[in-house]
């Protein structure tokens, strides 16, 4: 439903570190008006938490399936979380 606020956690697997994935994800998330954060994980994947309107979250997830030009995404796992309103912006950790 448009206008509904949701929060999701994505784990993005593939060649997603060292290819400007986090910075690109931050740019896209901010353009979509989402809040949250993105960080590298020690296993080579990327973790992303985002909160905002359902339609914006779906657009972000669609982007995450492709990523920036040098990325090779093999899998995106999604978990729905309870919205909490933090952080107030979208940041790279």
| Residues recognised as catalytic | 22, 40
| CA–CA distance, 77 with 13 (Å, rounded to integer) | 8
User: SS3 breakdown of the chain: % helix, strand, coil, rounded to 5?
Assistant: 25, 40, 35
């Amino acid at each position: 439903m448009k206008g509904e606020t949701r929060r999701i956690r994505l784990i993005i697997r593939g060649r997603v570190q060292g290819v400007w994935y986090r910075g690109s994800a931050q740019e896209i998330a901010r353009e979509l008006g989402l809040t949250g954060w993105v960080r590298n994980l020690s296993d080579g994947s990327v973790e992303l938490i985002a909160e905002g309107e359902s339609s914006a979250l779906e657009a972000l997830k669609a982007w995450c399936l492709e990523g920036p030009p040098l990325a090779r995404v093999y899998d995106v796992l999604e978990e729905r979380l309870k919205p909490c309103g933090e952080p107030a912006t979208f940041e790279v950790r």
